[in-house]
Amino acid sequence: MAKTELGAGSRALVRHLLSATPLARSHERRQRVRPAQRIAFQEFRRERYAEPALQLAAHQLRSFAAGEYEAVGKFSRVTAALAFNGAPFDLISHSAAIPADEIRHAEYMLRMSSLCGGQEAALRIDSDVLRENWSPPLDLATLDGIMVTLPALSETLAFAMLSTARSLARDPTVRQVYSAVVSDEISHLRLGWYYLKWREPQWSRAERQRVANIAAEILVELEPQLAVGRDAPPGTKSAARALGVLDTASLRRLIRNVVENEIVPGLDALGLGGSHAWRLRRKVPSG
């Protein structure tokens, strides 16, 4: 479980802690009985890697952990909105399971970040952003926008990045962490696409255009926002790759691959103009 401390302004500092109650023991037992996701944190050896590579890996894991932690509240709200609007039970049930996945992912990544960084890792979360996730109304139009943004596009991109990090990683413990997260993420992105498939026949022309506009705004600005990876200094690149660090070249390739082969075809199949938006995107040089 994570501990949240409110600091100056509206920033929250999140650390990995357990409650020292029977719930903590129950939590640890549940982790141990997931054999496909058992992670041997105690077997990680920092001394095998150059310090700059370790710090890059720690920063990447901490960044991923922050995204997973913030998704707990986002998917909780998605679940409430689905139920409020009478969505099919399978969509509600699937959504309800995701927050538990996300907090587990945040825990795995925060622990691994601490091991790589050589000290306790903590997340600084913008509390105002967390509250804003609950402020919009729960109507279907708002839900459509959330679903195309969060599980459909964001989780598809996250799955691609995490999968690539897993493919690069040669350290057994780091690879176990990424494998455990990736095994859940694919079900999260499916929620978004299956929701859109359910909703698409119900859209009016105006509703369809609104969802298309939201998707287009994301695609047009996507490359510049995600185009810079974590590039290791000379002599440490092999160590960084072994720790699953995504450098700029790897990140740019995976973004274009997932958008052009997964996201754009999916949006086009729903009549949301993904190809048109991608052609109009702000580009970055190939690399």
Q: How many CB atoms lie within 10 A of CB 26?
A: 10
pLDDT score of 168 more than 80: yes
pLDDT score of 281 more than 70: yes
Residue 12 has a pLDDT of: 60
CA-closest candidate to residue 67, choices 17, 97, 102, 96: 102
Q: pTM for this structure?
A: 0.86
Helices (H), the chain: 22-32, 51-84, 89-117, 127-132, 140-147, 155-168, 172-199, 205-226, 237-242, 248-258, 264-269, 274-279
Q: Establish if 197 belongs to a structural domain.
A: yes
Range of the domain at 57: 12-19+38-279
Do the beta carbons of residue 4 and residue 13 sit within 8 Å? yes
**How many folded domains does the chain comprise?**
1
DSSP tag of 137: -
pLDDT score of 35 more than 60: no
Residues 6+ apart with CB under 8 A from 268: 274, 275
CATH of residue 127: 1.20.1260.10
Q: Establish if 286 belongs to a structural domain.
A: no
Q: Establish if 126 belongs to a structural domain.
A: yes
CA-closest candidate to residue 122, choices 162, 63, 177: 63
Do the beta carbons of residue 33 and residue 213 sit within 8 Å? no
Residue 1 has a pLDDT of: 35
| pLDDT digit string, tens, across residues 125-149 | 777 766 766 666 789 999 999 999 9
Q: Establish if 26 belongs to a structural domain.
A: no
Write out the two tokens for 235. 């002599």
| pLDDT digit string, tens, across residues 74-126 | 999 999 999 989 889 999 999 999 999 999 999 999 999 999 999 999 988 77
Residue 2 has a pLDDT of: 42
* Alpha carbon distances (Å) from 93 to 40, 84, 87, 96, 153: 31, 13, 10, 5, 20
Give me the count of residues in the chain: 287
What does the angle CA 106 – CA 138 – CA 277 come to, to the nearest 5 degrees? 75
DSSP tag of 135: S
Alpha-carbon distance 184 to 188, whole Å?
A: 7
Write out the two tokens for 251. 């990140």
Burial class (CB in 10 A: 0-12, 13-18, 19+), 121: buried
DSSP tag of 263: I
What does the angle CA 235 – CA 239 – CA 240 come to, to the nearest 5 degrees? 100
What is the pLDDT averaged over residues 169-175?
98
What does the angle CA 67 – CA 169 – CA 155 come to, to the nearest 5 degrees? 30
Looking at this protein, which amino acid is placed at residue 249? Answer: A
Residue 120 has a pLDDT of: 94
